[in-house]
Chain A
Amino acid sequence: MVVAKRLGVRWQIGKRSLASSTPLWSIPSLLPRVRDSLAALLLLASTAPAQDQSTYYRTETYELPKGVNFEASGIAILPDGKLAVGLRKGEVWIAQNPSDTAKPDFKLFASGLHEILGLAWHDGALYATQRSEVTRLRDTDSDGKADEYLSASTGWGVSGAYHEYAYGPVFDKEGNLYTSLNSSMGKAWKGAGDEEKHPLWRGWVVRKTKEGKLEPFCAGFRSPCGIGQNAEGDIFITDQQGNWMPTTPLFHARKGAYFSHAESIPDAMRPESPVKIAAKQPDGITDAEAMKIVQGYTPPAVWLPYVKMGQSGTGIACDLSPGKFGPFEKQMFLGEFVLSGVNRVFLEKVGGEYQGTCFPFIDGLQCAALALNFLHDGSLVVGQSNRGWNSKGNRPFGLQRIVWTNKTPLEVQKMELLKDGFRFTYTLPIDKESWGTGKLNAQSYTYPFQSKYGGDEIDAKPLIIHAIQYSDDGRVMDVLISNLRPGYVHEFELPQLKSKDGTPLWHRMAYYTLNKLKAE
């Protein structure tokens, strides 16, 4: 049974990570769910205390309007700092005091839309993405309620199949509007007319140009649930495990790129497609091989290993505050649906392409994280709904925010590639003595490139570490490795380090996706 096997892997890893105090696997949150399993015994046997994440980041739960299924699926911040939340049931609510979770004062702004899965503020208006349209919402008479629902982007195929979600929007510097479109899954509806047979641009990111033209932009997505931008304004997409997606990827979306999900190939054959690929692609090779032989294939900037880092990546938010959210300025935070948490990603450009590291971050949210955005006060708001899929946090919906307590955790702040290894930069100076007899476990593996659902870590090999060097101030640690492999995830489990002021390392796992080696 595949599930049992996966869970088996999960618990094993869980046990290991638990010893590393990774809060994703903390005892209290998991134990009641694994009664009587061997895993529970293993967990019990471990004596390593889980660190309380609230020391560094506090989770606050919003008081929500009574009687409303507040399935928060889109979050936008207005120029005055107010918080706009789109709900799957098709409403937009605005919190007048978003920093006060007990009394946020939510007021209904718009209603009647068809499954909002994204909300953005741009140039004087709110934009809500619904199934068949991005709608520009404005309140022209200032009564607090939208009275203008104008079509800002539409024209992609909608067949009525249940999984044809539309996410976004994001805007680039030129003002083009981007929407990510789920590939079509499930049964199409006769009432959809011609689109019952072939809904256009499913599994694509499309953009509406400022001139009002809908253009296909890039392809090969399965369920591109998160669409967001980094500090430079580049567009990133999270996708979800399934066929052609062995685990959650973070893709850098640009014009003409193709990201592996074969169902979008037919539309790439259309003349207006900027994606130039072959009509067929190999099935059952490794991702590392695909990078070499599949025409036009763009690998993800980061893989988030399955179960270890979650099971379903969602919303993306970039910390643009000057240090209000802790020592992770300009890094990206990704929602995690099944494990109901938030992961952290550091990116760098190597050979002109983004690649980088993902780290565990926040665990134990009340429900599946779906949409993320930062308030002006620097806290991270997480919109939640688990309608349609299971999540560890078992509330069906809700809204929480994550607030930095102003205490700096000891974390790997960034992890960069060197020519012959990796450079770990810590948030606090490391006490080298705390390494003690601890071991640095490290391995690399790749994933299958296949039409089969999901995919195991394959071709795993231990990394051969021949030196570890510290900077004088203890902030930087270079790990020199003799067997780096492009096309592989390089996974590290650090020992239980401490900073010079005694702060223990909060998360010990780090996963660097190495697509390109460094020339220098």
Chain B
Amino acid sequence: MAAKRRKENAKMNSSKLWTLFAASAFFCGHLQAHPLQAEPVNHAFVFNFDRFNVPEDLDESLINGGLLLLAELNCTSCHAAPASWQQRLQPKPGPALESVGSRLDSDTLWLFIRSPQNRKKGTQMPGFFHGAEGDDEKVEALVEYLSNLKSSPAPMPAGDADRGKDLYHKVGCVACHEPGKDVRPPKVAADAEVEKPGNASVPIALADAYDFLSLANFLASPLHTRPAGRMPDMRLSAQEASDIAAYLHTGRVVEKAATRAALKISKQSFEKGRELFQTMNCIACHKLGSTMPAAVFSGAEKKEPSAPVQPAATKPLKELAQGQGCLAEKQASGTPRFDLNDLEKRAITLALKMIQQQEAPQLTAQEKVDWQMTRLNCYACHDRNDKGGAEDPRAQYFGVNDPGAESLGQLAHLPPTLDKAGRKLTRGWFEKVLWGKDGSVRPYMDIHMPSFGREQTEMLITWLNEADALEKPFQIDVSGLAKHHRAEAGRQLLGAKGLACVSCHGMKDRKSLGPPVIRLTHTVERLQPEYFKELLLNPQATQTGTVMPPMFIGRKKADQEIESIWTYLREIEGQPLPEGLMSSADFELKPDAEKRVIIFRSFIEGVGTHAIGVGFPGGLNAAFDAKTSRWAILWKGRFLDAMSNYQDRSMPPIKPLGTAVKSMPSASSERIFGGYTLGKDGIPTFRYLENGQQIEDTLRPVKGGFEHIINSNGKQTKEILSW
């Protein structure tokens, strides 16, 4: 009886409540400057529809916008597209609701389901309840069902709102979402007004309703709950995700659905909600996992779910009448309400007409690329063939973390243009960039390249390859087998005394000598060799806006040189770095922890081709000439640089690194070198024959220099060498 009374109450009040309801959304933001306070969008918001379409557009150009809406608003989830249109209009998976009950409390769910466009302005989620008899109970049942879909979010670190604010603006969130009004972009003068984005922002009005842990988890891996990738995975660390979550929660007050309490609807059953979820065709967009979370069946509701109920049949796109359903002036309860604006309605009407009249036109590879980039909103950050790229009021937030990169201008700040990308990157590198790991080669850039998920992007690789292929690709022999395919030759060219590529390009852990342009470490994995050659031969024509100088114009052996550089880059692991990037410290021989004597044979200046260097702990060094069997030089401080022996092909003579190099007198007699033996202390004793006599010759460091010990025929002589 009580339940029935509540229901009647609700019915009495319902019309009044519906009108009040709209106002509640304006209370949900709390700080004037916060991104959640973006000016609301009052229609179903598809970023690139709004960006690329205006009311002044002619019909023929607006049709594409209409197709975009049909696809992005998931119309084809319920209204099947004709076969030829299916690929293009493929719906995207809606948010996964398996654990929505952990993310949102029941009041927020109630507010959102009852009127999505009120709770989250601009949402693409349609409303289904227009105040008809029984709607309140249905909403309540759905809330009951969804609130029980729970799982425990993974633990996350505590977030720091200030750090989060910084991250939110620099890693790229503001490419789509609203910048905070209290954040000044790094380059804007103190007295200048910060320009506001001209395009509306993707709403994030539910962020502060989220449970903190769920929000942090969502930001850390959004594709988990939103597999469509429209909110891409920004490749945030757990800490960064928590920090941004904390920022979005700034000043958060969880909204209570006062109206819901006033309605006093009796508790609806989980099972009824579950059935409604199917009959109202929520499952067309929101796929539930194959297994229900265990929590669903707790307590009184613990029973096996009944057989799935068939959703109401919907008409295919081809049979939809103009101006009906969501396009109608007044909509009946149960039909999806998107709050489309006039331009959107016009666009959809045009698109529908086209679909109903003709087969889908064959798209070129470039048109397919453009279509997918538009759907995923790659254009928010990248431009390709003069379309897209971040608009300046958003781009101004993207900075660099390396002051050396400032001189590169927007090349360092902004995501790269995607012109020719399909013949630039290898498939393997595309995979890293689009959904894998370690694809970033611009560590100086603050903005992150997000992952959109493999399903959303894999096809792009093939299309890009096809769209950007040259009819006559550049010829490059990367067999590594031609005579000039020598890593060393390539190393010389890259080095400071060659073409000086190292002036701008670092390698491995070494910075360049100048600005921190892309390091060349992964070039061979990353670039297609033909593109590598195309770029090197004519950088400006290949990559518009590049600051790379045209080093190879007019070089007669450009072909061979480019192949040599490729060979070096291919074999970079284990090769010495090019001159300029390397410091002698890389190969400097230094006493180890056990302070052992170091012995090192090489060509040593001041000694000759048969030199044996001896580095004693404590900074005393000497070199023995095995040709004349004598100590040739002594010196102090640093010992020798082993690079010649360890890395160089040409084995150039090496110089003592230290100071106070003293040449020793030449031997007065003919001597025959015999070698050396090492004492327990590692000190070598040199042996030679002099006039048929076996001589043993040792240097020992003592205070002030060396003690020079000579054993001959049972007699020992000692002298102190100091200099």
Contact = CB atoms under 8 A, between A and B. Distances in A.
Contact of A390 (B486, B573, B606): B486
Nearest to B604: A191
A397 B479 CA distance: 18
A214 to B, nearest CB: 11
Interface stretch (B84-92, B512-520, B669-677): B669-677
A93 B608 CA distance: 27
Interface in A312-368: 338-339
Contacts of A133: 610, 626
A132 B609 contact: yes
Interface stretch (A109-117, A228-236, A411-419, A430-438): A109-117
A186 B650 contact: yes
Interface string B609-620: 110100000000
A393 to B, nearest CB: 9
Given A35-B529, A114-B645, A162-B650, A338 B481 contact: yes
Interface string A20-32: 0000000000100
A36 B477 CA distance: 9
A86 B646 CA distance: 13
Contact of B571 (A37, A158, A396): A396
A388 interface: yes
A111 B602 contact: no
A30 B479 CA distance: 7
Contact of B601 (A6, A34, A112, A396): A112
Contacts of A151: 626, 673-675
Interface in A145-197: 146-151, 154, 158-160, 162, 186, 189, 191-193, 195
Nearest to B612: A112
Given A154-B626, A390-B487, A149 B609 contact: no
Contacts of A461: none
Interface in B585-609: 598-603, 605-609
Given A132-B626, A149-B677, A115 B645 contact: yes
Interface in B498-541: 529-530
A4 B482 CA distance: 8
Contacts of A397: 574
A162 B653 CA distance: 10
B583 interface: no
B20 interface: no
Given A151-B673, A151-B675, A158 B610 contact: yes
A387 interface: yes
Contacts of A35: 478, 529-530
B473 interface: yes
Contacts of A160: 603, 609, 651, 653
A89 B574 contact: no
Interface size class of B (residues with CB under 8 A): 35 or more
Contact of A154 (B485, B573, B673): B673
B645 A396 contact: no
Contacts of A390: 480-482, 485-487, 567
Contacts of A193: 608-609
Most buried by A among B530, B571, B673: B571
A386 interface: yes
A394 B601 contact: no
Given A7-B477, A191-B609, A394 B571 contact: yes
Most buried by B among A154, A191, A386, A390: A390
B608 A191 contact: yes
A159 B609 contact: yes
A379 interface: no
B638 to A, nearest CB: 17
Interface string B645-679: 11101111100000000000000000001111111
A394 B610 contact: no
Most buried by A among B480, B651, B673: B651
Contact of A112 (B480, B530, B599, B605): B599
B407 interface: no
A244 to B, nearest CB: 17
B478 A131 contact: no
A37 to B, nearest CB: 7
Contact of A195 (B486, B602, B609): B609
A151 B671 CA distance: 13
Contacts of B599: 111-112
Contacts of A6: 482-483
B575 interface: yes
Contacts of A388: 486, 488, 649
Contacts of A394: 480, 570-571
Given A149-B675, A162-B651, A69 B646 contact: yes
Contact of A3 (B483, B574, B602, B653): B483
B484 interface: yes
A154 B679 CA distance: 24
A311 interface: yes
B477 A37 contact: yes
B645 A36 contact: no
17 contacts: A33-B479, A34-B478, A35-B529, A69-B646, A114-B645, A115-B651, A132-B609, A140-B677, A141-B680, A148-B675, A149-B677, A150-B675, A150-B676, A160-B603, A195-B609, A338-B481, A394-B480
**Nearest 6 interchain pairs by C-beta:** A396-B574, A150-B675, A388-B649, A112-B599, A114-B601, A162-B650
Interface of B: 473, 475, 477-488, 529-530, 567, 570-571, 573-575, 598-603, 605-610, 612, 626-627, 642, 645-647, 649-653, 673-680, 684, 687
Given A35-B529, A191-B653, 14 more contacts: A3-B484, A7-B477, A33-B480, A90-B645, A140-B677, A149-B678, A159-B609, A162-B649, A193-B609, A387-B647, A388-B649, A392-B479, A395-B571, A397-B574
